[in-house]
Structure 1
């Protein structure tokens, strides 16, 4: 936007110098008709005010980032720094400042040669009014962005996007492995950092071309220590470490784009911080649980990748992947651990698991959900001193089992849910 402001200034100055504007338009009261001294004063006011407000906008943004980091976690700051509204606001003020400076340098008074760019000055005034509107927009926009519900919605959208890119169209049945990896050779990596990107297709092509098979020991988001094994190779081939290095990208942070597990962790962090004694906001944690349940419901009837890559019917690459069980553990374990003794949160956990169970047709996934429920039930029995709270948790657990028993029979499932709501 700064470059655009400079380009507009140069273009409109050329229009003024060559007299491309008709005389009737140039004499219009809608255009600036003052002299050089007034033009310099006007442009100076625009330049000084826009750069001053830009500093204020930057200060407000930093304050909002500090608030967000303390309440919702530093890993969510990228949601503010990449926000197009904040970027547009800063760009508008800085672009207008650059425009005003470029036009100001060309203004000449009567003693200097008398050149007043009327069109460029008039457009500068329009930009100044546009900056006023942008400032009004920014105040409302930033006030809504630091709202925790808005942040939860933004991260939930990231989770949904990551899940959409993560799932596969068809169930990938892993071929029977005739080899064991007991005689495989370890491949070490001299780099250090978090595995952010992996070009599995390229690595699988390399393994197939060299007649070997690779089994990675790390997945996206794992930290790679220098000198530690990063993979196993069935038949030792020279250049394996270099091939893995070319197909992977490490970074100082875990990254989250396209990483389903990491985006879920960001959402869980909001709930865990909300449950801390310093914040003590259980309603935020409940909102997070609703979004996590909705994300799991969105995975119903969808297939997860197996991590096995084949070429010509032969397995050439095996990559560790996130499973449904590990995903549920990331979603609920930390929240459940921090919710001990909080009857409202434990009841909400049971209700969310019940909703997920009612939408999930796969028996293996239902067993995973039931295991999560058993852990919640055990924590409730141990941490709830009030018998009425404990009884309410037990009643919600019975509702879960009624829905599970009626699964596959829509009418019975509806009756189980309806009966629970009637009691509630």
Structure 2
């Protein structure tokens, strides 16, 4: 990933991205139509299809004014619906799912269409200023404004449908699972056929990180280019998702580097103050876990959702087990120039299980589901270390069940095969 790609990804997640682009398109269309009206396009259409052209100035102004007022109301209502959606998602699921909902391009496209049509109609209305008796009302431009408004009404119907679907927890889980699994599979594809050779770094030069925030990735192309130009290898001892404080030792280089090169390398490290999955699949595990735990809270009391989150986590863990414990940045010849740390399978599994065991240890159904997930994972292990990690979590789950579930019959079912009854 280079700087341009990173910049596009950053602005792509902003709710104003598509609305801004589409609004500019509406302005361009308005000026284009004003220019065409100066070429008497409406006169030509009156001769060809008079029924499509409004030839009365007062009628045209009334129609455009009505359309502008109606679209303003539609826009305000739609924005209010988005705010309600965000508030409900934050309260019922997790505040960390909000960036994913905000970046939904369907919402952005609809809002952008509203604003573009409003701007178009405003500029066409302003252009209706007769100067002499030969003035021709811009009837064709008004017709385009009416057509765009009809598209806005259709988009509003779609918006209501989509927003009613987007607030459903099942669709939120599907979206998080899809994005997280896509990122893991992207990493797996990059690992195919690659070398994992890298020298020991014990005696390498150590440098402080001069930035702060949540570390979420690298500008890999730029960093590799710097390493090749200066003939040195580097290690980034930071985990994705880790909050970095200025002064943390996190950069190691094979040979000493000057302050200028150090500054350039620091510029390739990406930090953020919000948790988007992007390159960091860890956020996906965390968001799904938080939704599951929130569902078990007394205020929501929705164990069915907790069971669903465990299914999605099982799918992600199976993919995660195929991934290497380290990531490398290599060139076209397969030479590794940069090594970065990654959260290990054992650490992610422990964090997920510790969260669920703490808040769901009283519910036999959820505990059985967790046991079923762990046994499923044990049949997909890639190495013995993963099997050992899973067995440790199975034993911990049994211990928590014994301490918190008093019914002997329930305890006897903890290892039984889980059959969903939903």
Q: 1:235 to 1:102 in 2, by over 3 A?
A: closer
Listed one character per residue, the Cα deviations across residues 278-332 of structure 1 (whole Å, up to 9, x for unaligned) are 22211111111101111223346x3425346689999864421222222322433
Q: Does residue 82 of structure 1 match 2:103?
A: yes
Q: 1:233 to 1:298 in 2, by over 3 A?
A: closer
CA–CA distance in structure 1, aligned partners of residues 345 and 145 of structure 2 = 57
CA–CA distance in structure 1, aligned partners of residues 33 and 224 of structure 2 = 56
Q: Does residue 391 of structure 1 match 2:412?
A: yes
Q: 1:232 to 1:299 in 2, by over 3 A?
A: closer
Q: 1:56 to 1:113 in 2, by over 3 A?
A: farther
**SS of the residue aligned with 2:251?**
strand
Residue number in structure 2 paired with 1:197: 217
Listed one character per residue, the Cα deviations across residues 183-209 of structure 1 (whole Å, up to 9, x for unaligned) are 555311332222222245654665576
CA-based RMSD:
2.9
After superposition, where does 1:126-165 map in structure 2 within 5 Å? Answer: 126-165=147-186
Question: How far is the alpha carbon of 1:385 from its aligned partner?
Answer: 1.0
After superposition, where does 1:251-270 map in structure 2 within 5 Å? Answer: 251-270=272-291
CA–CA distance in structure 2, aligned partners of residues 135 and 97 of structure 1 = 14
**SS of the residue aligned with 1:15?**
helix
Of 115, 120, 123, 1:99 maps to 120
CA–CA distance in structure 2, aligned partners of residues 160 and 82 of structure 1 = 18
**SS of the residue aligned with 1:244?**
helix
Residue number in structure 1 paired with 2:309: 288
CA–CA distance in structure 1, aligned partners of residues 249 and 182 of structure 2 = 32
**SS of the residue aligned with 1:115?**
coil
Question: How far is the alpha carbon of 1:339 from its aligned partner?
Answer: 1.0
CA–CA distance in structure 2, aligned partners of residues 124 and 313 of structure 1 = 56
Residue number in structure 1 paired with 2:326: 306
After superposition, where does 1:332-343 map in structure 2 within 5 Å? Answer: 332-343=353-364
Q: Does residue 54 of structure 1 match 2:75?
A: yes
Max Rg structure: 1
CA–CA distance in structure 2, aligned partners of residues 388 and 17 of structure 1 = 85
Give unpaired runs (5+ residues) of structure 2.
1-21
Higher relative contact order (CA 8 A, sep 6+): 2
Residue number in structure 2 paired with 1:278: 299
Tell me if the contact between 2:43 and 2:136 (Cα under 8 Å) persists in the aligned partners: no
Residue number in structure 2 paired with 1:377: 398
Question: How far is the alpha carbon of 1:40 from its aligned partner?
Answer: 0.6
Q: 1:253 to 1:2 in 2, by over 3 A?
A: closer
Of 42, 51, 60, 2:63 maps to 42
Residue number in structure 2 paired with 1:220: 240
Tell me if the contact between 2:34 and 2:124 (Cα under 8 Å) persists in the aligned partners: yes
**SS of the residue aligned with 1:230?**
strand
Residue number in structure 2 paired with 1:187: 207
TM-score by length of 2: 0.83
CA–CA distance in structure 2, aligned partners of residues 23 and 225 of structure 1 = 68
Question: How far is the alpha carbon of 1:113 from its aligned partner?
Answer: 6.2
Farther-moved stretch of structure 1 (251-260 vs 200-209): 200-209
Q: 1:97 to 1:250 in 2, by over 3 A?
A: same
